[in-house]
Structure 1
Amino acid sequence: MRFTYVCLSLAMSFLLFGCSEMSSKEEVETNWSFQTENGQSFNIVEIQHLMESYIKGIDEEDVVFADYKEAVIEPIYNDCFLDGEFLPIAEGVLSQKPENFDKLMRTIERMNSKEVKDSLSEALELSATALPIEKEINVCLLPVSYPGIGMAVGSDKILILFDEYFSIDHFKVTLAHEYHHSAWEAEYRKPSEKWTVLDNMVFEGKAVMFQEIIYPHQQMINTNEIYDQEAWDYASPHFEKETLEHSNQILYGGFDPLPSLYGYSEGYRMVKNYLEENPNLSIPEWTEQDAATIFKEGSHEENYD
């Protein structure tokens, strides 16, 4: 399964990658821009055009990472990565050269379709209407030959790694999820605050709740009402820890006794319980609320022995 939900980098050092800020003549223009009805601006950076030009001019066996970086990454680095508050989550993208050119070309063909463009506009329009912010956001689309995901690189940068099998429904839900992360970063993050495992769980739980509001019945993770006592007993003692290792472990799970993506589904249930106790809150109001309040006022712990 391919999931989009990573925001564990607040405690990490920022990745330097060796890309300095480009001069204006080196920057590429964003491919197209639009404004939603409420005035939210988006710039869409279609990296597939650079990728297509690059792979058409070289044999797959002859790929040199430095040449790929110069041809594909550097022209869009400012728009898609520079100064991103969550830049470390893109470390793998920025250090990986392209593989499987045939698959990449099929992916590029899909990305150039009207269906993908219309779906992107729809998802961003719905998201911005539900949670408006003033900041302009760049949305960057990069074709990949491995399972696609999305990531909020920062408050004004969303990166979608689009693969051959990335369904339209998954694409739209991913955009909504990552928009919520970017909007929260733009409007509500306090840069000085430290983040715990619980903070990360609620952060992801909010984004899962938001995507469910935008696209009901299209969830990509298990959001059922099962309260797993064994998983809770394992995870809850770690909630106040601030290390990336513990956040990764609890969020992703996938080992006994934690089911896959445990932190996302449990974080969603925390937010759901809080909203059941506070049904009149608007999306901006509950988005702004801190994790400790959501956990306590939602009486989430009462679902366990």
Structure 2
Amino acid sequence: MNLNADGTNLWGESMGRFINLSVILLFITFISACSNHTEQNKEVEEKESALNQTTYRFLHNKQEFEIISFYEEVLTYTEIMNENPKLDIKKVFTEIVLEPFKEKSSLSDVTLGNPFSTTTEIEQLEKNTKKLLKNQEQINQWIEEAIIESAELLSSGAVTKIYIFPVNPDDWFVINQMRGVNALTYFGNKIVFMIAPTVSEMDLKRVVAHEYHHTVNLFYNREQSMNSVLDLTITEGKAESFANIFYPEAKPPWTEPLPEDVEAKVLKELRENADSTDWKIYNDFFIGNYSKGIPGWSNYKIGYQITESFIENNPNHSVLDWTKINAKEIVKNSEYRDKILQ
């Protein structure tokens, strides 16, 4: 044992000083780490705060396009619900998200139908929305590229407004079966997109081309493009044929041919209800009616087959030609004439 001259423990005294020095160094290291962590958090917060949604406008061939996102409105909604989970979800969503959208789009409850639904998965909705906001430049670029390709082949001259929302995280049908994107087109050249952060470039672009064709079809044909079950079926078929020109490799499930026996049942139902204006009957083709042997997406599948048949039989018709031609003329000049027209 090492001792001081006065007999005290030299080793113990040295260790005491060493321990005290170690504590000081550890404290300094801890303060430094906290400071670095704080700086990192500050950088992350600054980056997140810098991500503001933008209204993106572009022109092509004298056509004007506007992409309007509602990420910030959705994030305000999720923040309110996270802080006050007992609030009425639908009421808050309507006030914070839906009403501002209706004001900007000039669409009413009657016109909209019910494309929006609320979710209890508020945290997931918030995460998805932040991802979309972070990637908004890329999403806008994909939309712009798809529209420019489409407008090069077909144009209307009208102003087109595109509204972007995150898809409801509960909507697994859109996320999985529709590959992360759903869309609706309204009169007045307005398109609403519901997007999941998992959507691929190809799938988004194909849906953009599909919906863009609807705007042109509505511009030229107005109500005639959606008067009857047959009109609506061919309208979807035309849009899919148009999208297929640019993105044939996408191969969405709603363009897959129906099995022969199923196609016969769908055609029989379509022949009997071609002129019907009953939305319930049309929904049988869209949603499916298994008691009648009609699967979902039958309107897309058979409409696409009919339009493709028309295009093959009439190679001299331009895209604008067959966009303007009415549904019965499309059927009449396809191989489906005798199977539908009475």
Query: Fold-level match, TM-score > 0.5?
Result: yes
2:98 to 67, 73, 76: 73
| 2:222 counterpart of 1:189 | yes
Cα deviation for residue 100 of structure 1 reads 1.3
For structure 1, the 5+ residue unaligned runs are 1-28
CA distance in 2, matches of 1:81, 1:166: 28
The answer on whether the counterparts of 2:230 and 2:274 sit within 8 Å (CA) in structure 1 is: yes
Matches within 5 A, 1:237-256: 237-253=272-288, 255=290, 256=292
Find the partner of 2:309 among 256, 261, 273: 273
Give the AA of the match of 1:43.
E
- The residue that corresponds to 1:33 in the other structure is 57
Q: Normalization by structure 2: what TM-score?
A: 0.71
Distance in 1 of aligned mates of 2:197 and 2:335:
42
Q: Which has the higher helix share?
A: 2
**C-alpha root-mean-square deviation of aligned residues, in Å?**
2.6
Partner of 1:200: 232
Matched residue of 1:93: which SS? coil
Cα deviation, residue 81, structure 1: 4.6
Query: Identity, % of aligned pairs?
Result: 21
Judged with a 3 Å threshold, the aligned counterparts in structure 2 of structure 1 residues 280 and 30 are, in CA distance, closer, same or farther, namely farther
Displacement of 1:54: 2.6
Question: What SS does the aligned partner of 1:158 have?
Answer: strand
Question: Alpha carbons of 1:98 and 1:89: their partners in 2 closer, same or farther (altered >3 Å)?
Answer: farther
Distance 2:139 2:73 in 1: 18
Q: 2:72 aligns with which of 42, 46, 49?
A: 49
Matched, 1:158 2:180: no
Aligned residues: 270
Name the counterpart of 2:9.
Answer: none
* SS of 1:58 mapped into structure 2: helix
- Which stretch shifts more, 232-241 or 153-162? 232-241
CA 281–201 in structure 1, closer or farther in 2 if over 3 Å, else same = same
Answer yes or no: is 1:222 the counterpart of 2:255: yes
Q: Which is greater in Rg?
A: 2
For residues 81 and 223 of structure 1, what CA distance do their matches in structure 2 show? 36
CA contact (8 A) 2:255 2:304 kept: no
Aligned amino acid, residue 251 of structure 1: F
TM-score scaled by length of structure 1: 0.79
* 1:233 partner amino acid: K
Q: CA deviation at 1:152?
A: 0.4
CA offsets per residue over residues 153-208 of structure 1, 9 Å max, x none?
A: 223210001134433322211111111112211222147x9822111111111111
Match of 2:201 in 1: 168
- The residue number in structure 2 matching 1:177 is 210
